[in-house]
Amino acid sequence: MKQDKALRLRRPLRPEQTDVILDSVADGVFTVDMDWRITSFNRAAEKITGIPALEALGQPCCDVFKASICETGCALRQTMETGNPVVNRHAYILSVGGERVPISISSAVLRDREGRMIGGVETFRDLSLVEALRKRVAQDYRCEDILSRNHQMQQIFEILPTIATSDSSVLIQGESGTGKELVARALHNLSRRSAKPFVAVNCGALPETLLESELFGYKAGAFTDAKRDKPGRFALAQGGTLLLDEVGDIPPALQVRLLRVLQEHTYEPLGGTETLRADVRIVAATHRDLAEMMQQGGFRQDLYYRINVIQISLPPLRDRREDIPLLTDHFVARFNRLQGKDVTGVSDEVLDILMAHDFPGNVRELENIIEHAFVLCRGGMIEPRHLPETIRSAYSVSDPEGRQRTTLEEMERTMVLDALRRNEGNRTAAARELGIHKSTLFRKVKALNIRLPDRDGRASPSR
């Protein structure tokens, strides 16, 4: 009796039963023969692509899907050549109406009862809703052209509109590549001066004599090569905003002239006798510690307090690792537009490498890494081989030879440890920074086997 039941259970499904099962699956499913011609096409595949099964059957799969990876990284081809399945690879297909549909692809080899390969099977999931939600999340974490979900950056986003309503000088401090100019532009765009010019000058890139003429302009005959009048950056920014980037590099003698402009709102061009009015909002930016420079005599105290009416400090990217996936998606979308490519994103291995990197060049370095990858990646997914050698060789990624890769658990552990370190062990402040309840933090600490510091940080000021 039991043997008869087992035989019935092993009995193969009839074709009509298989069709019913496949049509009840929410994911699109299709199969191909060894010539890449479609041999089955379920109802969900019809719905996602807009192509009836009768039109798809017998056609080459690349003619039906017109997917972004058909030419550069076909999942089915990879599976049928290697025998290894592909799981959750992102791509885009064109629907019958020409609409670009984001999908997630998985593929496997199709074999007969004797184990011989007779084709391949691919499932694909419509990610349109996920993509829409991702764009909405990105919008929620945006202030002008700045993207961040980090709690410190979110606090800056909240106060930027208020700061923008004032004409007071602003000092933006942060390491190179953290986005100081983006913050300055956001202040300008949110202010009443937005219809007027935004002008930036890099004070560290010019010698003293040239920087002076760049800032204040000159009159014809002021020096040998001055054939005609030239307006300076203060004149060009009239009514708008002037960004003094790397203000800490301004020489002492020129600091005196700049102080006068900030105090009296007037200046004279080189070689000129007429005093001009400066209706300009000053935003200064630097990667240097101006307070320390002031103590050592390298920066004038009176000028420091003039430009430091309001201070904004930008955290480095290594202290806001939760922004790396968000910024990566942003740069991928941006370079797709600029270069006319169809790169679908970065692989899990690439994200592992990026999450483990300390980014001494901050957001600018991440942007350069993605741009480098775009040069080498023709389409499909950015893989580790597309990254700069200096980045790729510094981190081990899982491969068939068994090298290790960063896991999601390790990423989470790093983020929790970083939050505790930044808040000097203050659990409540760390939980607030991570956007979770304190009890959730304790559960994560226990689950991730994190040893808490002896000092609990409750004496530290709450952030």
| pLDDT tens-digit readout, 37-86 | 888 888 888 888 888 888 888 888 888 777 666 666 688 888 888 888 88
Tens-place pLDDT, residues 174-185? 999 999 999 999
235 assigned to some structural domain: yes
302 assigned to some structural domain: yes
The mean pLDDT value for 294-312 works out to: 93
User: In the beta sheet, which residues pair with residue 199?
Assistant: 242
Three-class DSSP category at 247: helix
pLDDT of residue 461: 44
Domain boundary among 349, 366, 392: 392
361 assigned to some structural domain: yes
CA distances from 327 to 8, 147, 267, 293, 414 (A): 55, 7, 41, 33, 19
Domain match, 121 and 195 both: no
Burial of 463 (0-12, 13-18, 19+ CB in 10 A): middle
> How far apart, in whole angstroms, are the C-alpha atoms of residue 86 and residue 41?
19
Higher pLDDT, 280 or 89: 280
pLDDT classification of 187: cutoffs 50, 70, 90: very high
459 assigned to some structural domain: no
Which domain CATH number covers 266? Answer: 3.40.50.300
> How far apart, in whole angstroms, are the C-alpha atoms of residue 400 and residue 318?
30
Domain match, 275 and 162 both: yes
pLDDT of residue 421: 78
The mean pLDDT value for 355-384 works out to: 92
Contact present, 305 and 263 (Cβ < 8 Å): no
Which domain CATH number covers 413? Answer: 1.10.10
Tens-place pLDDT, residues 241-257? 999 999 999 998 899 99
Q: How many Cβ atoms sit within 10 Å of the Cβ of residue 279?
A: 14
Task: State the number of CA atoms in the 13 A half-sphere of 92 facing the CB.
Answer: 17
Q: CA angle, 443 as apex, 439 and 449 as ends, to 5°?
A: 140
Domain match, 300 and 323 both: no
CA distances from 99 to 43, 74, 301, 331, 378 (A): 19, 20, 60, 22, 21
> How far apart, in whole angstroms, are the C-alpha atoms of residue 42 and residue 25?
8
Check pLDDT > 70 for residue 1: no
For the chain, what is the largest distance between any 2 Cα atoms, rounded to a whole number of angstroms? Answer: 112
The per-residue pLDDT of the chain, averaged, comes to: 82
pLDDT of residue 13: 47
13 assigned to some structural domain: yes
Across 420-431, b (16+ Cβ under 10 Å) vs e yields bebbbbbbbbbb
456 assigned to some structural domain: no
Print the domain residue range for 431.
Answer: 408-447
The predicted model scores a pTM of 0.66
Query: Of the ranges 4-8, 86-90, 376-380, 406-410, which is most confident?
Result: 376-380
Three-class DSSP category at 120: strand
Percent of the chain with pLDDT over 90: 34
Domain match, 177 and 311 both: yes
Least confident of 107-121, 284-298, 388-402: 388-402
Domain match, 192 and 177 both: yes
> How far apart, in whole angstroms, are the C-alpha atoms of residue 184 and residue 198?
9
User: In the beta sheet, which residues pair with residue 146?
Assistant: 143
135 assigned to some structural domain: no
Domain match, 297 and 427 both: no
Domain match, 77 and 153 both: no
Domain match, 295 and 146 both: yes
403 assigned to some structural domain: no
Domain match, 220 and 331 both: no
Which domain CATH number covers 62? Answer: 3.30.450.20
The mean pLDDT value for 230-237 works out to: 91
Higher pLDDT, 447 or 233: 233
pLDDT of residue 400: 39
Contact present, 32 and 53 (Cβ < 8 Å): no
Which domain CATH number covers 347? Answer: 1.10.8.60
Rounded (to 5) percent helix, strand, coil in the chain: 45, 20, 35
Total tally of structural domains belonging to the chain? 4
Domain match, 323 and 203 both: no
Long-range contacts of 157-162 (CB under 8 A, 24+ apart): 160/186, 160/187, 160/190, 161/190
Domain match, 193 and 228 both: yes
pLDDT of residue 221: 60
Check pLDDT > 80 for residue 314: yes
- Per DSSP, 265 falls in state S
Domain match, 296 and 333 both: no
Q: CA angle, 39 as apex, 33 and 42 as ends, to 5°?
A: 135
Contact present, 414 and 322 (Cβ < 8 Å): no
Q: How many Cβ atoms sit within 10 Å of the Cβ of residue 148?
A: 23
pLDDT of residue 404: 42
Residue with tokens 């007027």: 196
Tens-place pLDDT, residues 124-167? 888 777 666 566 655 667 778 888 988 899 899 999 999 999 99
